[in-house]
């Protein structure tokens, strides 16, 4: 099981989970810790422009939601080419509960 040990910003958590499952699909016999590590790297290295694109294109269940306040807040945090979630606060909260298991075959 993977869980955050503190509340994580929604977009950072979304990027983490998306990358975690993507890594697991691409590496079906990996250790869970390898997938978590890859997802953490993705969170901390996603530039602002890419994070905003993820926000815009993944609005499942949020049709019509005004994203401008969130976009503005992220824009104030860093320039477009820099990473808004580079601080460990955004990516280090995710831990493995239980043993580090090999996924798949």
CB atoms within 10 A of CB 34: 15
pLDDT in tens, 49-77: 888 888 777 765 555 667 777 777 777 77
Domains identified in the chain, total number: 1
Tell me, yes or no, whether 6 lies in a domain.
yes
Asked if residues 55 and 70 have their Cβ atoms less than 8 Å apart, the reply is yes
- 10-37: pLDDT as tens digits: 889 989 999 999 999 999 899 999 999 9
Q: Would residue 11 count as lying in a domain?
A: yes
Q: Is the pLDDT of residue 105 over 70?
A: no
**101 in a structural domain:** no
Q: How far apart are CA 23 and CA 20, in angstroms?
A: 5
The overall pTM is greater than 0.85: no
Whether 28 is in a domain gets the answer: yes
Query: Is residue 102 in a domain?
Result: no
In a domain, 103, yes or no: no
CB count within 10 Å of CB 58 equals 12
Tell whether 38 is covered by a domain: yes
Tell me the β-bridge partners of 31: 102
User: Which domain, by its residues, includes 88?
Assistant: 2-59+66-96
């Amino acid at each position: 099981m993977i869980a955050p040990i503190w509340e994580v910003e929604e977009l950072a958590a979304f990027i983490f989970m998306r990358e975690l499952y993507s890594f697991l699909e691409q590496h079906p016999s990996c250790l869970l810790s390898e997938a978590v590590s890859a997802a953490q790297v993705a969170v901390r290295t996603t530039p602002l422009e890419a994070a905003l694109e993820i926000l815009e294109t993944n609005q499942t269940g949020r049709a019509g939601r005004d994203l401008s306040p969130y976009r503005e807040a992220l824009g104030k945090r860093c320039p477009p080419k820099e990473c808004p979630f580079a601080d460990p606060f955004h990516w280090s909260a995710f831990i493995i509960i239980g043993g580090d298991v090999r996924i798949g075959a």
